[in-house]
Amino acid sequence: MTSAALIGVPDVTEFELNAWIGLRLAAVEHALSSWVTADAPQGLTHSAPAQLVAAMRYAVLDGGKRLRPLLVLAAHEAVCAAQGDASFDAAMHAACAVELIHAYSLVHDDMPCMDNDVLRRGKPTVHVQFGEAGALLAGDALQALAFELLTPQDGSVPEATQARLCALLARAAGSAGMAGGQAIDLASVGLPLTESQLREMHELKTGALLQASVMMGAQCGAPDARAVAALQIYGSAIGLAFQVVDDILDVTADSSILGKTAGKDAENHKPTYVSLLGLEASQAYAQRLLVQALSALDGSGLAQTRALRALADMVVNRAH
Protein backbone atom coordinates (compact mmCIF):
# COMPACT_ATOMS: atom_id res chain seq x y z
CA MET A 1 0.00 0.00 0.00
CA THR A 2 1.05 3.58 -0.52
CA SER A 3 3.36 4.92 2.18
CA ALA A 4 3.47 8.39 3.65
CA ALA A 5 7.02 8.71 2.35
CA LEU A 6 5.66 8.89 -1.19
CA ILE A 7 4.16 12.29 -0.48
CA GLY A 8 6.85 14.01 1.52
CA VAL A 9 7.08 17.79 1.34
CA PRO A 10 9.32 18.84 -1.60
CA ASP A 11 12.75 20.12 -0.53
CA VAL A 12 12.31 23.68 -1.73
CA THR A 13 12.52 27.05 -0.01
CA GLU A 14 9.42 28.44 -1.70
CA PHE A 15 6.30 26.32 -1.81
CA GLU A 16 5.90 24.80 -5.28
CA LEU A 17 2.34 23.65 -5.90
CA ASN A 18 3.16 21.59 -8.98
CA ALA A 19 5.79 19.59 -7.08
CA TRP A 20 3.41 19.11 -4.16
CA ILE A 21 0.58 18.00 -6.46
CA GLY A 22 2.79 15.68 -8.50
CA LEU A 23 3.84 13.62 -5.49
CA ARG A 24 0.32 13.35 -4.12
CA LEU A 25 -1.35 12.59 -7.42
CA ALA A 26 1.04 9.69 -7.93
CA ALA A 27 0.07 8.30 -4.53
CA VAL A 28 -3.67 8.79 -5.15
CA GLU A 29 -3.53 7.22 -8.62
CA HIS A 30 -1.66 4.22 -7.26
CA ALA A 31 -4.17 3.76 -4.45
CA LEU A 32 -7.21 4.14 -6.73
CA SER A 33 -5.83 1.64 -9.23
CA SER A 34 -5.13 -0.79 -6.39
CA TRP A 35 -8.59 -0.47 -4.88
CA VAL A 36 -10.81 -0.31 -7.97
CA THR A 37 -10.22 -3.91 -9.06
CA ALA A 38 -12.03 -7.19 -9.64
CA ASP A 39 -10.44 -8.74 -6.57
CA ALA A 40 -12.80 -10.23 -4.01
CA PRO A 41 -13.14 -8.12 -0.84
CA GLN A 42 -11.48 -9.51 2.27
CA GLY A 43 -13.40 -12.49 3.63
CA LEU A 44 -15.47 -13.04 0.45
CA THR A 45 -14.96 -15.52 -2.35
CA HIS A 46 -16.73 -13.82 -5.26
CA SER A 47 -14.96 -11.24 -7.38
CA ALA A 48 -16.74 -8.46 -9.28
CA PRO A 49 -17.83 -8.98 -12.91
CA ALA A 50 -15.08 -7.92 -15.29
CA GLN A 51 -17.27 -5.67 -17.44
CA LEU A 52 -18.54 -3.79 -14.39
CA VAL A 53 -15.03 -3.27 -13.07
CA ALA A 54 -13.90 -2.10 -16.52
CA ALA A 55 -16.61 0.58 -16.47
CA MET A 56 -15.66 1.61 -12.93
CA ARG A 57 -11.99 1.93 -13.81
CA TYR A 58 -12.86 3.84 -17.00
CA ALA A 59 -14.85 6.31 -14.88
CA VAL A 60 -12.17 6.84 -12.24
CA LEU A 61 -8.68 6.34 -13.64
CA ASP A 62 -6.55 8.37 -16.05
CA GLY A 63 -8.34 11.68 -15.87
CA GLY A 64 -9.68 14.48 -13.72
CA LYS A 65 -8.11 17.18 -11.59
CA ARG A 66 -8.31 15.13 -8.37
CA LEU A 67 -9.08 18.36 -6.55
CA ARG A 68 -11.09 16.62 -3.84
CA PRO A 69 -8.34 14.14 -2.87
CA LEU A 70 -5.82 16.98 -2.92
CA LEU A 71 -7.99 19.00 -0.54
CA VAL A 72 -8.27 15.98 1.77
CA LEU A 73 -4.50 15.55 1.86
CA ALA A 74 -3.79 19.28 2.21
CA ALA A 75 -6.20 19.63 5.14
CA HIS A 76 -4.77 16.51 6.74
CA GLU A 77 -1.26 17.92 6.46
CA ALA A 78 -2.35 21.27 7.90
CA VAL A 79 -3.90 19.65 10.95
CA CYS A 80 -1.38 16.86 11.42
CA ALA A 81 1.84 18.77 10.67
CA ALA A 82 2.92 18.43 14.28
CA GLN A 83 1.38 14.99 14.82
CA GLY A 84 3.48 12.84 12.47
CA ASP A 85 1.94 10.59 9.83
CA ALA A 86 0.17 8.03 12.02
CA SER A 87 -3.13 9.08 10.48
CA PHE A 88 -1.87 8.94 6.90
CA ASP A 89 -3.74 5.73 6.06
CA ALA A 90 -7.02 7.32 7.10
CA ALA A 91 -6.29 10.36 4.92
CA MET A 92 -5.51 8.25 1.85
CA HIS A 93 -8.66 6.17 2.34
CA ALA A 94 -10.65 9.39 2.68
CA ALA A 95 -9.01 10.95 -0.37
CA CYS A 96 -9.86 8.00 -2.58
CA ALA A 97 -13.36 7.60 -1.14
CA VAL A 98 -14.33 11.17 -1.92
CA GLU A 99 -12.96 10.82 -5.46
CA LEU A 100 -15.07 7.67 -5.97
CA ILE A 101 -18.18 9.59 -4.90
CA HIS A 102 -17.27 12.39 -7.28
CA ALA A 103 -16.69 9.90 -10.12
CA TYR A 104 -20.00 8.15 -9.52
CA SER A 105 -21.82 11.49 -9.57
CA LEU A 106 -20.27 12.38 -12.93
CA VAL A 107 -21.24 9.01 -14.41
CA HIS A 108 -24.87 9.50 -13.39
CA ASP A 109 -24.98 13.23 -14.22
CA ASP A 110 -23.81 12.55 -17.78
CA MET A 111 -26.57 10.03 -18.50
CA PRO A 112 -29.46 10.88 -20.87
CA CYS A 113 -31.93 11.10 -17.98
CA MET A 114 -29.80 13.84 -16.40
CA ASP A 115 -27.47 16.14 -18.40
CA ASN A 116 -27.19 13.86 -21.45
CA ASP A 117 -23.52 14.60 -22.15
CA VAL A 118 -21.22 12.58 -24.40
CA LEU A 119 -17.80 13.97 -23.41
CA ARG A 120 -16.08 13.87 -20.03
CA ARG A 121 -12.38 14.28 -19.24
CA GLY A 122 -11.65 14.40 -22.94
CA LYS A 123 -13.15 10.99 -23.74
CA PRO A 124 -16.62 9.51 -24.33
CA THR A 125 -18.78 9.39 -21.22
CA VAL A 126 -19.32 6.06 -19.48
CA HIS A 127 -22.83 5.49 -20.82
CA VAL A 128 -21.57 6.09 -24.37
CA GLN A 129 -18.77 3.57 -23.85
CA PHE A 130 -20.59 0.92 -21.78
CA GLY A 131 -24.30 1.58 -22.30
CA GLU A 132 -26.80 3.19 -19.96
CA ALA A 133 -27.31 0.13 -17.77
CA GLY A 134 -23.55 -0.38 -17.47
CA ALA A 135 -23.07 3.25 -16.47
CA LEU A 136 -25.84 3.14 -13.89
CA LEU A 137 -24.37 0.03 -12.26
CA ALA A 138 -20.83 1.43 -12.39
CA GLY A 139 -21.97 4.55 -10.55
CA ASP A 140 -23.81 2.48 -7.95
CA ALA A 141 -20.76 0.28 -7.40
CA LEU A 142 -18.39 3.26 -7.09
CA GLN A 143 -20.64 4.80 -4.44
CA ALA A 144 -20.66 1.57 -2.44
CA LEU A 145 -16.91 1.12 -2.79
CA ALA A 146 -16.33 4.61 -1.36
CA PHE A 147 -17.84 3.61 1.96
CA GLU A 148 -16.06 0.26 1.89
CA LEU A 149 -12.78 2.17 1.66
CA LEU A 150 -13.72 4.27 4.68
CA THR A 151 -14.27 1.15 6.81
CA PRO A 152 -11.17 -1.04 6.38
CA GLN A 153 -11.11 -4.09 8.63
CA ASP A 154 -7.34 -4.27 9.01
CA GLY A 155 -7.06 -1.82 11.90
CA SER A 156 -5.40 0.87 9.78
CA VAL A 157 -8.16 3.40 10.48
CA PRO A 158 -9.60 3.71 14.01
CA GLU A 159 -13.31 2.94 14.20
CA ALA A 160 -14.14 6.36 15.62
CA THR A 161 -12.42 7.98 12.64
CA GLN A 162 -14.26 5.65 10.27
CA ALA A 163 -17.58 6.79 11.72
CA ARG A 164 -16.71 10.50 11.42
CA LEU A 165 -15.57 10.11 7.82
CA CYS A 166 -18.63 8.09 6.80
CA ALA A 167 -20.97 10.66 8.34
CA LEU A 168 -19.25 13.57 6.60
CA LEU A 169 -19.25 11.88 3.20
CA ALA A 170 -22.82 10.60 3.46
CA ARG A 171 -24.18 14.04 4.33
CA ALA A 172 -22.24 15.73 1.55
CA ALA A 173 -23.40 13.22 -1.08
CA GLY A 174 -27.03 12.87 -0.05
CA SER A 175 -30.29 14.76 -0.29
CA ALA A 176 -28.95 17.69 1.77
CA GLY A 177 -25.81 17.83 -0.35
CA MET A 178 -24.78 16.78 -3.84
CA ALA A 179 -27.91 14.79 -4.77
CA GLY A 180 -30.15 17.56 -3.47
CA GLY A 181 -28.27 20.16 -5.48
CA GLN A 182 -28.61 18.08 -8.63
CA ALA A 183 -32.35 17.79 -8.03
CA ILE A 184 -32.62 21.58 -7.75
CA ASP A 185 -30.51 21.94 -10.91
CA LEU A 186 -32.77 19.65 -12.93
CA ALA A 187 -35.89 21.40 -11.65
CA SER A 188 -34.48 24.86 -12.46
CA VAL A 189 -33.88 24.43 -16.18
CA GLY A 190 -35.39 27.40 -18.00
CA LEU A 191 -36.48 29.08 -14.78
CA PRO A 192 -35.19 32.40 -13.42
CA LEU A 193 -33.39 32.05 -10.08
CA THR A 194 -32.37 34.69 -7.58
CA GLU A 195 -28.72 34.89 -6.59
CA SER A 196 -29.65 33.32 -3.24
CA GLN A 197 -31.37 30.38 -4.94
CA LEU A 198 -28.48 29.88 -7.34
CA ARG A 199 -25.98 29.97 -4.48
CA GLU A 200 -27.96 27.35 -2.55
CA MET A 201 -28.03 25.07 -5.59
CA HIS A 202 -24.28 25.33 -6.14
CA GLU A 203 -23.45 25.02 -2.44
CA LEU A 204 -25.26 21.70 -2.43
CA LYS A 205 -24.45 20.30 -5.87
CA THR A 206 -20.74 21.13 -5.94
CA GLY A 207 -19.75 22.89 -2.74
CA ALA A 208 -20.87 20.26 -0.25
CA LEU A 209 -18.47 17.59 -1.48
CA LEU A 210 -15.56 20.02 -1.74
CA GLN A 211 -16.16 21.28 1.78
CA ALA A 212 -16.49 17.69 2.99
CA SER A 213 -13.12 16.91 1.41
CA VAL A 214 -11.49 19.58 3.56
CA MET A 215 -13.28 18.45 6.70
CA MET A 216 -12.57 14.76 6.10
CA GLY A 217 -8.86 15.51 5.80
CA ALA A 218 -8.99 17.51 9.02
CA GLN A 219 -10.93 14.82 10.88
CA CYS A 220 -8.24 12.25 10.13
CA GLY A 221 -6.27 14.11 12.78
CA ALA A 222 -7.33 15.93 15.92
CA PRO A 223 -8.24 19.52 14.97
CA ASP A 224 -9.21 21.99 17.66
CA ALA A 225 -12.45 23.97 17.49
CA ARG A 226 -10.73 27.04 16.05
CA ALA A 227 -9.24 25.07 13.17
CA VAL A 228 -12.52 23.26 12.48
CA ALA A 229 -14.46 26.52 12.24
CA ALA A 230 -11.85 28.09 9.94
CA LEU A 231 -11.65 25.07 7.67
CA GLN A 232 -15.42 24.97 7.36
CA ILE A 233 -15.39 28.57 6.11
CA TYR A 234 -12.47 27.83 3.80
CA GLY A 235 -14.18 24.74 2.37
CA SER A 236 -17.47 26.55 1.85
CA ALA A 237 -15.80 29.46 0.03
CA ILE A 238 -13.72 27.20 -2.19
CA GLY A 239 -16.68 24.97 -2.93
CA LEU A 240 -18.78 27.87 -4.18
CA ALA A 241 -15.84 29.50 -5.99
CA PHE A 242 -15.20 26.30 -7.93
CA GLN A 243 -18.73 26.36 -9.37
CA VAL A 244 -18.64 30.10 -10.10
CA VAL A 245 -15.45 29.56 -12.09
CA ASP A 246 -16.98 26.50 -13.76
CA ASP A 247 -19.84 28.73 -14.94
CA ILE A 248 -17.30 31.24 -16.24
CA LEU A 249 -15.28 28.62 -18.10
CA ASP A 250 -18.41 27.20 -19.70
CA VAL A 251 -18.65 30.42 -21.74
CA THR A 252 -14.95 31.35 -22.08
CA ALA A 253 -13.20 28.03 -22.81
CA ASP A 254 -13.70 25.46 -25.55
CA SER A 255 -14.35 21.72 -25.25
CA SER A 256 -10.78 20.70 -26.08
CA ILE A 257 -9.51 22.65 -23.06
CA LEU A 258 -12.32 21.77 -20.67
CA GLY A 259 -12.37 18.08 -21.51
CA LYS A 260 -16.17 18.27 -21.55
CA THR A 261 -18.78 19.92 -23.73
CA ALA A 262 -18.45 23.71 -23.52
CA GLY A 263 -21.52 25.94 -23.73
CA LYS A 264 -23.77 23.18 -22.45
CA ASP A 265 -25.36 25.29 -19.72
CA ALA A 266 -26.52 28.02 -22.09
CA GLU A 267 -27.68 25.47 -24.64
CA ASN A 268 -29.81 23.75 -22.01
CA HIS A 269 -31.08 27.05 -20.54
CA LYS A 270 -29.56 26.33 -17.14
CA PRO A 271 -29.19 29.19 -14.66
CA THR A 272 -25.56 30.08 -13.96
CA TYR A 273 -23.65 32.89 -12.29
CA VAL A 274 -22.72 34.27 -15.70
CA SER A 275 -26.34 34.28 -16.90
CA LEU A 276 -27.45 35.93 -13.65
CA LEU A 277 -24.63 38.36 -12.83
CA GLY A 278 -22.71 38.68 -16.08
CA LEU A 279 -19.14 37.62 -16.84
CA GLU A 280 -17.19 40.42 -15.14
CA ALA A 281 -19.30 40.37 -11.98
CA SER A 282 -18.92 36.60 -11.77
CA GLN A 283 -15.14 36.88 -12.09
CA ALA A 284 -15.08 39.51 -9.34
CA TYR A 285 -17.25 37.31 -7.11
CA ALA A 286 -14.84 34.39 -7.53
CA GLN A 287 -11.98 36.63 -6.40
CA ARG A 288 -13.94 37.73 -3.31
CA LEU A 289 -14.52 34.09 -2.41
CA LEU A 290 -10.78 33.48 -2.72
CA VAL A 291 -10.09 36.32 -0.28
CA GLN A 292 -12.67 34.84 2.11
CA ALA A 293 -11.01 31.42 1.96
CA LEU A 294 -7.52 32.79 2.57
CA SER A 295 -8.73 35.00 5.41
CA ALA A 296 -10.22 31.94 7.09
CA LEU A 297 -6.85 30.22 6.96
CA ASP A 298 -5.23 33.30 8.47
CA GLY A 299 -7.42 32.83 11.53
CA SER A 300 -7.16 29.05 11.72
CA GLY A 301 -4.19 28.84 14.07
CA LEU A 302 -2.70 26.22 11.71
CA ALA A 303 0.96 26.66 10.81
CA GLN A 304 1.16 24.62 7.61
CA THR A 305 -1.53 25.94 5.26
CA ARG A 306 0.59 26.59 2.17
CA ALA A 307 -0.99 23.77 0.18
CA LEU A 308 -4.52 24.85 1.09
CA ARG A 309 -3.70 28.42 0.06
CA ALA A 310 -2.19 27.36 -3.24
CA LEU A 311 -5.11 25.06 -4.04
CA ALA A 312 -7.55 27.89 -3.36
CA ASP A 313 -5.68 30.12 -5.79
CA MET A 314 -5.62 27.30 -8.35
CA VAL A 315 -9.38 26.80 -8.07
CA VAL A 316 -10.20 30.45 -8.70
CA ASN A 317 -7.55 31.23 -11.30
CA ARG A 318 -7.58 27.99 -13.28
CA ALA A 319 -7.98 27.93 -17.06
CA HIS A 320 -9.91 24.64 -17.27
| CATH number (domain holding residue 102) | 1.10.600.10
Mean pLDDT of 234-258: 86
Mean pLDDT of 147-164: 94
Q: Is residue 101 part of a domain?
A: yes
What is the value of pTM for the model shown? 0.90
Q: Is residue 4 part of a domain?
A: no
Which range has the top average pLDDT, 2-16, 21-35, 41-55, 73-87? Answer: 21-35
Q: Is residue 10 part of a domain?
A: no
Mean pLDDT of 173-179: 97
Q: Domain residues for 54?
A: 15-317
Q: What is the mean pLDDT of the chain?
A: 89
Q: Is residue 276 part of a domain?
A: yes
Mean pLDDT of 229-250: 96
Residue 320: what pLDDT? 80
Q: Is residue 35 part of a domain?
A: yes
Between CA 308 and CA 224 the distance in angstroms is 17
Residue 110: what pLDDT? 95
Residue 62: what pLDDT? 80
Comparing 108 with 45, the larger pLDDT belongs to: 108
Total structural domains within the chain = 1
pLDDT at 266 over 70: no
pLDDT at 235 over 70: yes
pLDDT at 85 over 70: no
Tens of pLDDT, residue by residue over 194-222, are 999 999 999 999 999 999 999 999 999 98
Between CA 241 and CA 218 the distance in angstroms is 20
Q: Are 312 and 78 in contact (CB under 8 A)?
A: no
pLDDT at 158 over 80: yes
**Residue of 93, 70, 84 lying closest to 2 (CA atoms):** 93
Q: Is residue 188 part of a domain?
A: yes
Query: Concatenated DSSP letters for 156-213?
Result: SS-HHHHHHHHHHHHHHHSTTTHHHHHHHHHHTTT----HHHHHHHHIIIIIHHHHHH
Query: Concatenated DSSP letters for 4-18?
Result: GGGGPPPS-SS--HH
Cβ-based neighbours of 110, under 8 Å, separated by 6 or more? 116, 117, 118, 120, 125, 126, 127, 135
What residues are paired with 124 via a beta bridge? 119
pLDDT at 2 over 50: no
How crowded is the C-beta side of 156, counted as CA atoms within 13 Å? 17
Q: Is residue 9 part of a domain?
A: no
Q: Is residue 107 part of a domain?
A: yes
